[in-house]
């Protein structure tokens, strides 16, 4: 019988840390380490997508999930070689955005 280690399967590039609600990081400087955009399990936004952010605040990694179409659109415009970057997520009118 084979050992799991023989399959050469690694854990991949997973997101680590506690899950934070986006409201907990509004108006705070955060470092965006990486992101992932997938179809949402609970599509409530126009795009039907969900943005997962791996962030860091004060040397602590956390994960944030959001369906904000504005944040999704903005982060898609950031070149992959520009990660990580610092930003503040603000609430402007009825949506969230990077500033």
For residues 26 and 66, the answer to whether their CB atoms sit within 8 Å is no
Tokens at residue 91, please?
A: 């609430």
Domain boundaries, the chain: 18-98
Q: Is 19 helix (H, G, I), strand (E, B) or coil?
A: strand
Residue 4 is predicted with a pLDDT of 83
Tens of pLDDT, residue by residue over 39-67, are: 988 778 888 899 999 999 999 999 999 99
Tens of pLDDT, residue by residue over 16-43, are: 999 999 999 999 999 999 999 999 887 7
């Amino acid at each position: 019988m084979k050992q799991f280690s023989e399959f050469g399967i690694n854990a991949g590039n997973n997101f680590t840390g506690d899950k934070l609600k986006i409201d907990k990081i509004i108006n705070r400087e955060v470092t965006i380490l990486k992101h992932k955009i997938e179809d949402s399990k609970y599509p409530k936004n126009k795009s039907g997508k969900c943005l997962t952010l791996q962030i860091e605040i004060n040397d602590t990694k956390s994960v944030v999930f959001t369906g904000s179409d504005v944040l999704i659109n903005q982060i898609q415009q950031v070149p992959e070689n520009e990660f990580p970057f610092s930003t503040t997520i603000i609430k402007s009118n009825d949506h969230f955005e990077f500033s």
